[in-house]
Copies of this chain bind each other. A is one copy, B any other.
Amino acid sequence: PRTLNLAVVAGDGIGTEVVEQGLLVLDAALAGTGTTVSTTDFDLGARRWHATGETLSDADLDAIRTHDAILLGAIGDPSVPSGVLERGLLLKLRFALDHYVNLRPGKLFPGVTSPLANPGDVDFVVVREGTEGPYVGNGGAIRVGTPHEVANEVSVNTAFGVERVVRDAFARAAARPRKKLTLVHKHNVLVHAGHLWRRTVEAVNAEFPDVTVDYLHVDAATIFLVTNPSRFDVIVTDNLFGDILTDLAAAITGGIGLAASANINPDRTAPSMFEPVHGSAPDIAGQGKADPTATVLSVALLLDHVGLPEQARRVEAAVAADLAERDGRVRSTAEVGKDLAARIAG
């Protein structure tokens, strides 16, 4: 008998609604395994910020660190100035806990409608770097609000940071049937960062000789994502390009209501974090309209990470079966969660 200590950051808007269903499904998936879940709720996000001015205190961060994993719903509200919760909470978690692999599958499940006329067989994963690039917060501005304002943003890329995420992406590619890795960057313009990425991919390829590598500029990658998404197997890319590509990937595979993500610390020096790609969606919050599927698929990624791949596959199979039979039926957030849990209980 083992206890999975889970830090739960339900967050804002629909975050609480989808996390509730994610936990329900997690319980169902663990039934009979001997593993049980113990959750600690962390009240973080817009409400906490309004009440206390805090985004993520050192005490909360330390407490989160003691857990095996984190389940996050969604962070953000229009009432909070842009950047405050993103930089002070969500990105702070990703950076402080060294989530250098931001894993985002792009899979079109049977029965799901894509906006593409002929999507083909879409099944890839994006390995987005999570701790570097233009997300580091090294920008600044002078003469703000004057006609002479200059606002800079700095993308920082290190051999250390690029190599570890590239190696992770190669390992994932090597474990997949097609064994194909596509580096996406913009090395014809961002020559310093781009060439570091390119050289690193070439070098690490020697350790994974059976993986085929190709390269696309980020602009061209968006073209292929809508004209030939089945060409992709594993994509490795930087933090910002990964942000953009994974929203597009979500769109072509049925929308962000279905898009899962894992912020992984592969070295396990801190807990990894599992969260849907979507945001807090204040427009539909509190109405039971949010699709918890993205969170449920993120729970599957969590199960993989904690060494329960069989349970992960059961969750995915339940989602696949549910999606195949949806047929435009409208259910509440809780109904979808209950149906998925019931399928898993089987």
Which A residues fall within an 8 A CB radius of B?
76, 82-83, 86-87, 91, 114-118, 134-135, 139-141, 143-160, 163, 186-196, 198-199, 218-220, 222-223, 226-227, 240, 243-244, 246-248, 250-252, 255-256
- Bound CA–CA A150/B116 (angstroms): 40
Cα separation A287 to B196 with both chains bound (whole Å)? 35
Number of copies: 2
**B226 in contact with A134 (CB, 8 Å):** no
Residue of B nearest to A196 (CB): B151
Q: Which of B83, B156, B223, B246 contacts A248 (CB 8 A)?
A: B223
| CB within 8 Å for A115 and B155 given contacts A189-B83, A192-B140, A222-B248 | no
Are A222 and B247 CB-contacts (below 8 A) given A83-B188, A134-B189, A157-B150? yes
Hey, which chain B residues are within 8 Å of A117, CB to CB?
114-117
Please name all residues of chain B whose beta carbon is closer than 8 Å to the beta carbon of A160 when the two chains form the complex.
Answer: 147-148
Query: What's the minimum C-beta distance from A19 to chain B, rounded to whole angstroms?
Result: 21
Q: How far is the CA of A10 from the CA of B196 in the complex (A)?
A: 32
Q: Are A223 and B244 in contact (CB under 8 A)?
A: no
Given A115-B227, A116-B226, A247-B223: A153 and B150 interface contact (C-beta under 8 Å):
no
- What are the residues of chain B within 8 A of A159 when measuring CB–CB? 143, 146-150
Given A115-B116, A116-B115, verify A244-B218 contact (CB < 8 Å).
yes
A156 to B21 alpha-carbon distance, docked (Å)? 44
The answer on a CB contact under 8 Å between A191 and B116 is no
Minimum CB–CB distance from A234 to chain B (whole Å) comes to 20
Inter-chain contact B219/A244, CB cutoff 8 Å: yes
CA distance A158 to B153 in the complex (A): 12
| Cβ-defined contact, B199 with A145, below 8 A | yes
Given known pairs A219-B244, A250-B223, the reply for A190 and B139 (CB within 8 Å) is: yes
Given contacts A115-B117, A116-B226, A227-B255, 11 further A-B contacts (CB under 8 A): A76-B188, A91-B189, A115-B118, A134-B153, A146-B159, A150-B157, A152-B156, A154-B154, A155-B155, A219-B246, A223-B248
A238→B216 CA distance, assembly (Å): 21
A-B complex: 10 closest residue pairs judged by Cβ atoms: A219-B247, A149-B159, A83-B191, A151-B192, A222-B248, A139-B192, A153-B155, A117-B117, A223-B251, A151-B196
